[in-house]
């Protein structure tokens, strides 16, 4: 990899599409651009309207491009959903060099060897992340390059997902005029930012509550061992508020963000506000205590489902406790309510990078960091995700739009999507 590399992450969420541009210099990630657009075409973390999703992606990309005056060409896409599955994999190869020194080629061959297994036809291999390498019986090696050996082994985790879900995501990205540079699992991405190495080693539960779904991940021994998704999130709270206050979901969302609180004991009765009643011009007055009763009830239900899911996985008591992140965590009082329900140590995780100090940016930042680190381990080379347009005349802006439209039209006529998918992952 170059000493300075610009990578772009794309997260297609239920409420927002987020594009983050990061510059990697001397293994340090700096965020230089952000684009956030309203997500249309998604429900409960799944694509339900391709055209609207494409439009949302283009809006977020345009916003990020204007911030850095660069043209985004390639993105690292984060994926999530109940269709994601993890399974252990193992590969063994002989070291190819005459000097018996392990090189990038050997790393790539052992990773390819680990993927030789029976996969159902409706599933697609997304990625492999190595847990450890073994050189001539010596285990727990994180990077074997440069070592002398005869036999190289790798133990890792294979990530597979539903073929249809993956095809729909990639189709949306391509129709937006972008190239998919890599694919990253959201649970791994969030863990890269939200969790410390000690927490991952001890055993910790990561809970990422978004608008349409809640992702649950278990890390132990330093690695992701289990992940699951619950189709409940912040949108359910908004709908409850909309019904309770007899107002539109748009106004309920604004009220939730401006006046919402998740812990009834800390809500203020004198914090009042007016709400327009749906179907009329009349306004009603509510206070923070009234809406907190609604928010706390729904969020408590989500927490109880989270606990049940951890029990189902067999991880009820984790030494590292639970870490909460995601857009819903911007509500005050969420951690206090979680401590009451989980009855163990709970903390919030908020990114510390300048300009993105909000919990809903955790996955986007983590996608850049994990993809960069995993590419180094696997010996993959990333091409820069942007073209610098600072010297480009203004007249070429329209030409760029024409190129994007042409890419969109071409993608409609291509029917060899499976072949191109294989090129993404196995070239």
> For residue range 262-283, what is the model confidence (pLDDT) as tens digits?
999 999 999 999 999 998 888 9
- What confidence tens digit (pLDDT) does each residue in 42-70 have? 887 788 999 999 999 999 999 999 999 99
Look at residue 44 in the predicted model and tell me its pLDDT. 78
The pTM score is 0.86
Domains by residue range for the chain, with CATH: 4-80+167-188+363-426 (3.30.420.40), 85-163 (3.30.1490.110), 196-233+296-356 (3.30.420.40), 234-295 (3.30.420.40)
For the chain, list residues with pLDDT below 50: 1-3, 389-400, 402-403, 406, 408-415, 417-418, 421, 427
Look at residue 390 in the predicted model and tell me its pLDDT. 44
Look at residue 399 in the predicted model and tell me its pLDDT. 46
Q: How far apart are CA 260 and CA 290, in angstroms?
A: 10
């Amino acid at each position: 990899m170059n000493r300075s590399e610009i990578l772009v992450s794309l997260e297609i969420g239920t409420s927002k599409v987020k594009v983050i541009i990061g510059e990697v210099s001397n293994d340090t990630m700096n965020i230089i651009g952000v684009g956030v657009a309203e997500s249309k075409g998604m429900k409960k973390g799944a694509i339900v309207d391709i055209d609207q999703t494409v439009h949302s992606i283009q809006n977020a990309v345009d916003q990020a491009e204007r911030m850095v005056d660069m043209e985004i060409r390639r993105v690292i896409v984060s994926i999530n959903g109940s269709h994601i599955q993890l399974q252990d994999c193992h590969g063994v190869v002989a070291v190819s060099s005459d000097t018996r020194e392990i090189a990038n080629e050997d790393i790539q061959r052992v990773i390819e060897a680990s993927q030789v297994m029976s996969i159902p036809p409706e599933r697609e291999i997304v990625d492999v992340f190595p847990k450890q390498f073994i050189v001539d019986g010596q285990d727990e090696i994180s990077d074997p390059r440069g070592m002398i050996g005869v036999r190289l082994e790798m133990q890792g985790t294979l990530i597979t997902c539903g073929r249809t879900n993956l095809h729909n995501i990639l189709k949306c990205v391509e129709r937006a005029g972008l190239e998919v540079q890599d694919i990253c699992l959201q649970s791994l991405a969030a863990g890269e930012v939200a969790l410390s190495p000690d927490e991952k080693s001890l055993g910790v539960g990561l809970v990422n509550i978004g608008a349409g779904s809640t992702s649950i991940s278990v890390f132990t021994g330093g690695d992701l061992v289990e992940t699951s998704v619950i189709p409940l999130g912040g949108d359910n709270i908004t709908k409850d508020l909309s019904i309770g206050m007899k107002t539109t979901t748009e106004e309920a969302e604004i009220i939730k963000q401006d006046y919402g609180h998740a812990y009834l004991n800390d809500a203020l009765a004198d914090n009042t506000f007016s709400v327009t009643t749906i179907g009329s011009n009349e306004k009603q007055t509510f206070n923070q205590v009234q809406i907190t009763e609604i928010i706390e009830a729904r969020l408590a239900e989500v927490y109880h489902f989270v606990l049940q899911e951890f029990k189902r996985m067999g991880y009820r008591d984790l030494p590292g406790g639970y870490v909460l992140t995601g857009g819903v965590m911007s509500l005050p009082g969420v951690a206090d309510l979680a401590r009451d329900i989980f009855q163990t140590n709970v903390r919030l995780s908020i990114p510390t990078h300048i300009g993105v100090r909000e919990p809903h940016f955790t996955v986007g930042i983590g996608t850049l960091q994990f993809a960069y680190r995993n590419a180094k381990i696997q010996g993959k080379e990333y091409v820069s995700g942007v073209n610098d347009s600072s010297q480009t005349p203004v007249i070429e802006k329209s030409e760029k739009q024409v190129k994007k439209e042409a890419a969109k039209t071409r993608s409609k006529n291509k029917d060899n999507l499976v072949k191109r998918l294989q090129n993404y992952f196995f070239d």
